[in-house]
Amino acid sequence: MKPTSKDSSWEMDLPVFSATPKHEAYDVVIIGGATMGACTAWFLASNPDFKGKVLVVEPDPTFSKAQTGASNNCMRQQFANPINVKIGQYAAEFVRNFRENLGGDPNVPELSIRNFGYLYLSDNADLTKVLQRDQSVQEECGAGTRMVAPQEIADAYPF
Ligand SMILES: Cc1cc2nc3c(=O)[nH]c(=O)nc-3n(C[C@H](O)[C@H](O)[C@H](O)COP(=O)(O)OP(=O)(O)OC[C@H]3O[C@@H](n4cnc5c(N)ncnc54)[C@H](O)[C@@H]3O)c2cc1C
């Protein structure tokens, strides 16, 4: 099965989808092949310490009902937990060099990233404290987030 679309410019001619599994048995079977399933499969299969076989079961290779297709595709670093900040940074770096990270295959599209910020607003002291604490965590992880005062926002965005 191949994905179909009116706009075929994104299509890849890769023999990745098959109606029947290639092997009789698998070490890992992943149910759902959208972003989580595909990433899990790819990272597992590309790990040199993993010697097993991976099967991804996906009934809809067009991903028409998957959340992945509906996503805004934003990768942020505004998290309270350092691990999540680092995951966001890793994801951005991975997508920035997508083709290279997937082995350099020319059939893999280069993905473009548009950089713009998230603006978290607070209207009370308690939330401001939480945002300040989170921002310190993000800064320690090397994220470029910063606190901005109301006047600074008004000056930067006068509309
Ligand atoms: C409107 C919207 C905007 C979003 N924006 C962002 C964003 O900007 N940034 C961000 O990080 N996250 C965003 N998200 C969240 C993000 O899209 C999801 O967290 C992510 O796509 C979930 O991926 P998934 O692979 O777990 O699930 P899904 O993408 O939903 O994929 C599940 C897959 O499992 C398959 N499946 C289901 N049942 C079975 C079955 N029984 N057997 C086999 N296969 C099955 C489905 O066909 C589907 O392909 C957004 C979500 C939505 C809805």
Same domain for 77 and 143, yes or no, is yes
Q: Which atom of ligand 1 is nearest to the CA of 39?
A: 25
Judged against a pLDDT cut of 70, whether residue 117 lies above it is answered with yes
Residue 45 lies in domain: 1-71
Q: Which of 53, 71, 89 is the last residue of a domain?
A: 71
Same domain for 104 and 126, yes or no, is yes
Residue nearest to atom 35 of ligand 1 (CA): 32
Ligand 1 center from residue 63 Cα (angstroms): 9
40 lines ligand 1 (CB under 6 A): no
Q: Which atom of ligand 1 is nearest to the CA of 60?
A: 47
Same domain for 52 and 87, yes or no, is no
Q: What is the pLDDT of residue 142?
A: 97
Q: Which atom of ligand 1 is nearest to the CA of 35?
A: 25
The reported pTM is 0.83
Q: Which of 71, 95, 123 is the last residue of a domain?
A: 71
The DSSP-derived string for the chain is -----S-GGG----TT--SS-SSS--SEEEE--SHHHHHHHHHHHT-TT--S-EEEE-S-TT-TT-HHHH---------SSHHHHHHHHHHHHHHHTHHHHTT--TTSPPPP-----------SHHHHHHHHHHHHHHHHTT-------HHHHHHH---
Same domain for 87 and 104, yes or no, is yes
74 lines ligand 1 (CB under 6 A): yes
Same domain for 90 and 54, yes or no, is no
Q: What is the pLDDT of residue 14?
A: 52
Q: What is the mean pLDDT of residues 67-88?
A: 95
Same domain for 47 and 117, yes or no, is no
Same domain for 83 and 150, yes or no, is yes
